[in-house]
Structure 1
């Protein structure tokens, strides 16, 4: 992808809209929509790296109600010709075509490689990567198992299923990641270790992830960086690539 002069690529992650309640998250949603309004002025593309919602479940003909400000703004942006890319997180991994069909937004379930102006990026949400976190990895296998998904959708009434999903997203620490609020040091950061192992196979200029809820900018080597985007709960941080360099910024409006 070529980034024209004066254009930028934007990255954001971990909004967790709907948590702890929809009413409590509404001010955050409005702030995020204001950010989308601002960045669309010079965006070449926008990357959303997961956990946009605190819980998301798609049925064949039904999606969760609410979040109309965000969904409407994303539709407006893609209709204007600005591409938006979405990577599922551990809270909104049960997507099944709605973003692609209704919003024209491609959805990725695994990290992907991109090249912008000869600068290489490895991009994903970040959950379940690297060593450790074995409890969550086992849970993710259960959540992504086709039989488990079928049973959840078919055996539970949608109203009850949504209430259960929202409850678990907030209360279950294996899902919510409540223990991930502090920097553990490079040697204990699973994503740092994951990125360093990936560099053994192939060079990437930037590894960009979410999930950790911490804005991080760490040198992996002299020419490679790991960037974590932080969140839109406490930090309101986002990434921006101007065609030459990537940096973290804070939205204050």
Structure 2
């Protein structure tokens, strides 16, 4: 059965961490702002700066889970989550605690009579062949299950190393962080969607293609924050100040 909603909001690449209290405050302010008429909120990965496993909690992860569950239960807003490259280990246990439903990459659903496909977006950066090989290995259920069983201290060191390597590679080869047009063309053709929504690249924009197809790219939350909206009108992107958020 295909999910169907009247409207929805989309966010990604917030990179929540206790080291960014301004971003944390902006996120909670965003949750408080979400109109009660909203049907669904979709979080498309890299929600946290990194994720070591559902068995490791911090005051921040607990506060976020409580806030999302309140949103879901008090306002009857459906919350969905697709893992990103920073938090691919976030699983069903945390989603259940937060009142979120875990979705697979390239999930397709209906919003305001539009066929909408959702992805974190890293799968479309096909020029970065080294990362795509790594992604295929680390997302293997057996490998991921084994990783989650490693000592917590080792997982933390591994996450920090992966973050450092990622920053170094992108500083040396910034082209790798963007999608390739061939990957997008293939995805739009195979998914047969009206709108493809993704994050990952931090290059907020809405692109138009043949057959009236759109690609909404969500921005990251740095000095500015971003959210996307799809309803009966044309899909839109919205930005706000992280230090003084106004929606």
Q: Decide: shared fold, TM above 0.5.
A: yes
Alpha-carbon distance in structure 2 between the residues aligned to 1:77 and 1:54? 22
Structure 1, gaps ≥5 residues long: none
Deviation at 1:183, TM superposition (A): 10
Give TM-score, length-normalised by structure 1. Answer: 0.82
Give TM-score, length-normalised by structure 2. Answer: 0.84
Q: Partner residue of 1:66?
A: 59
**1:21-36 alignment to 2 at 5 Å?**
22-23=18-19, 25-36=20-31
Structure 2, gaps ≥5 residues long: none
1:200 aligns with 2:189: yes
Deviation at 1:181, TM superposition (A): 6.6
**1:90-105 alignment to 2 at 5 Å?**
90-105=85-100
Going from structure 1 to structure 2, the CA distance change for 1:14 and 1:180 (only over 3 Å counts) comes to farther
Alpha-carbon distance in structure 2 between the residues aligned to 1:175 and 1:108? 30
Alpha-carbon distance in structure 2 between the residues aligned to 1:235 and 1:180? 24
Q: How many equivalent residue pairs?
A: 237
Going from structure 1 to structure 2, the CA distance change for 1:197 and 1:144 (only over 3 Å counts) comes to closer
Query: 2:68–2:99: 8 Å Cα contact kept in structure 1?
Result: no
**1:1-253 alignment to 2 at 5 Å?**
1-3=4-6, 8-18=7-17, 22-23=18-19, 25-58=20-53, 62-67=55-60, 68-80=62-74, 81-129=76-124, 131-154=126-149, 156-165=150-159, 167-173=160-166, 189-190=179-180, 192-201=181-190, 203-221=192-210, 223-252=212-241, 253=245
Going from structure 1 to structure 2, the CA distance change for 1:63 and 1:224 (only over 3 Å counts) comes to same
Runs of 4+ in 1 over 6 A off after TM superposition: 179-184
